[in-house]
Structure 1
Amino acid sequence: MSNQTDAPAAPAADLSEGTRPVTNDPATQQAARDRRSRSATRLKLIRSAPAVFARQGIDGASVSDLCAAAGFTRGAFYSNFESKRELAILAFEDLATQLVDTLGTELDHWLGSGLDVEDVVTRIIEGVTDQVANVNQQALRVELSLAAFRFPEVRQQMAPIRARVYHAIEQALVRVAQTQRLEFLVSPGDVARMLLTSYSGQLADHMAMGGSGHGAQQVIPTMWLAFTRPA
């Protein structure tokens, strides 16, 4: 037994000693810092892009403007993205991730905060509470919807992102219905899709008339009441 125990001890010590120089190696540390810096640069470009695309469109936005909005020069774009369309899709995917994360962390708080159920559902569908961010998100969605209509490759890239958003909203609405002892008159997936597309349409209509989108969410409570009833 003692021989079997001692045998692996030496390799473990050698492994430990062997890894220390790698961890402390200046070149390795610099490479790690470079990776973190590049990731931070990439994320900043992604997060600032929706506002630029909202104002200028995907085709109209220049690489210089996209980089300036994030505080970088043109080189930052070309070292991270192959095209403006790629950046737009990644920006929409990031917005989708933020929505899913918000629902995961905030839904129980909303349900327990004393808000009316219609207000909770409105928050779910709006996705973000910042109206400016909401308008930017909608403008980007419209731009990418047109691109998906025109280009099959964009359609293919957008499909899983859209499916993820619809699924997250559906699960959140099911949770609301369960806590409020409500049942759906149609499938929860259909309710999620109708609520989101109706709100999106109202928001786009407001924006087309030069509005800020304020008031577009009024359609949400009415539709929620129309498609649910006490269990």
Structure 2
Amino acid sequence: MPKGPTKRRPQTTARLLEAAQETFAERGFYGSSIEVICERAGLTRGAFYSNFRTKEELFFALFNLHAQRVIDHLTQAVDELDTADDPLRTVLRRMNTVDETERRWYLLSTEFTLHAIRHPATARTLAEHDRRLREEIAHLLARLFDRLGRRPTVDLDSLARLTTAVHEGALAQNLVEPDQLASEQLAVTYLPMLIDTVSEPVSPKV
């Protein structure tokens, strides 16, 4: 069981997370043992178990780091909405452009999702993490509509699910056929029409 906080705990945790990111990227979730992660971090198994109970718990710590990265990126995109010539498509292009970090995370999270589907308790934990991230995305969608001068006519949680599905589905196709479909192509082409369909203009205040 993880022990209480110590002065060295943050550094140890950071080393484990960095080593886990690298090891998961190379070997996948199933192929990455706690021993290999500890060896890469230059730490003992005791150090691991002082911070995390299981490899699943380590994954969820990485999930939280990735979720914050996503929210920071989307927040910056929405903040810059007013300065673009074609605001909505510019934001969607930025939101759906994929770098190597995002690619690696997609591979890991897809494998872990399959693991969670086979283990109901893990699935419930993953669903709760997804819910918290989706809540943040829904808040950003509300800001996006506000910046566009429109009012959503659908539930924003459901819309967050749909936009996430488009992003992840397009990314999967891009990774399989990178020369046929850019990661942002589907979002940039079709989401503007969706945004118009599921919202209405806000009447200017008199």
Band the TM-score falls in, shorter-chain normalisation:
0.7 to 0.9
Aligned to 1:139: 107
Residues 226/210 of structure 1: CA separation in 2 closer, same or farther (3 Å cut): closer
Residues 48/131 of structure 1: CA separation in 2 closer, same or farther (3 Å cut): farther
Q: 1:106-185 alignment to 2 at 5 Å?
A: 106-107=76-77, 109-114=79-84, 116-124=87-95, 126=96, 131-184=99-152
Shift of 1:103: 4.2
Higher-Rg member (1/2)? 1
Contact 1:46-1:94 within 8 A present in 2 as well: no
User: What CA distance in whole angstroms lies between the structure 1 residues aligned with 2:78 and 2:61?
Assistant: 28
The worse-fitting range, judged by mean Cα deviation, of 142-151 and 176-185 is 176-185
Aligned to 1:27: none
Contact 1:52-1:66 within 8 A present in 2 as well: yes
Q: Do structure 1's residue 39 and structure 2's residue 6 form an aligned pair?
A: no
Aligned length, in residue pairs: 193
Equivalent residue for 1:201, pick from 169, 192, 203 = 169
Residue 170 of structure 1 aligns with an amino acid whose one-letter code is: A
Aligned to 1:5: none
Aligned to 1:72: 42
User: What CA distance in whole angstroms lies between the structure 1 residues aligned with 2:50 and 2:180?
Assistant: 35
Identical columns (%):
24
Aligned to 1:221: 188
Residue 224 of structure 1 aligns with an amino acid whose one-letter code is: L
Aligned to 1:13: none
Alignment gaps of 5+ in structure 2 = 202-206
Q: 1:61-100 alignment to 2 at 5 Å?
A: 61-69=32-40, 71-75=41-45, 76-100=47-71
* TM-score (ref. length: structure 2): 0.77
Aligned to 2:204: none
User: What CA distance in whole angstroms lies between the structure 2 residues aligned with 1:223 and 1:185?
Assistant: 18
- 1:131-185 deviation per Cα after TM superposition (whole angstroms, max 9, x unaligned): 1110122122212211220111211211221011111111112211111123446
Contact 1:53-1:61 within 8 A present in 2 as well: yes
Contact 1:184-1:227 within 8 A present in 2 as well: no
Shift of 1:222: 2.4
Residues 152/103 of structure 1: CA separation in 2 closer, same or farther (3 Å cut): same
User: What CA distance in whole angstroms lies between the structure 2 residues aligned with 1:58 and 1:101?
Assistant: 26
* TM-score (ref. length: structure 1): 0.70
Q: Do structure 1's residue 49 and structure 2's residue 20 form an aligned pair?
A: yes
Residues 200/78 of structure 1: CA separation in 2 closer, same or farther (3 Å cut): same
Contact 2:93-2:187 within 8 A present in 1 as well: yes
Alignment gaps of 5+ in structure 1 = 1-33
